[in-house]
Amino acid sequence: MDMECTSARGAETGALEADDRFSLAVSRVRSGYLPAGQSGAVSAGAGRGELCVLCDRVIGADEVVYEVIGMKCGRSRKCSFHRPCYDAWMMTSPHVL
Ligand SMILES: [Zn+2]
């Protein structure tokens, strides 16, 4: 009766749920906004206020940014992802190719 019914979904972290992030990745790859899979070198580092090409949110200094070099994402020559966004994007390859 008094079961706690809280879930992470209610937390106001501003982050997307994994499923939402994955669907967004698939639709962005399908629309050509993001390339499919990885085709360049990746570097990881601390965020510097870049916009994530997947979720369009700022990647703060307290977060890890994954940068894929050598491909185009939208109008950018450099693709910056939050780490979970990068993971979601990587998982799209088998679904959109
Ligand atoms: Zn992101």
pLDDT score, position 92:
86
Q: Hey, where are the domains in the chain?
A: 17-96
CA pair distance 50, 7, nearest whole angstrom: 29
* Tokens 């966004």, residue located: 85
CA–centroid distance, 38 to ligand 1, in Å, is: 16
Residue pLDDT tens, the chain, 97 long: 555 544 444 445 567 788 899 999 999 999 989 988 666 789 999 999 999 999 999 999 999 999 998 888 887 778 999 999 999 998 887 666 6
CA–centroid distance, 52 to ligand 1, in Å, is: 4
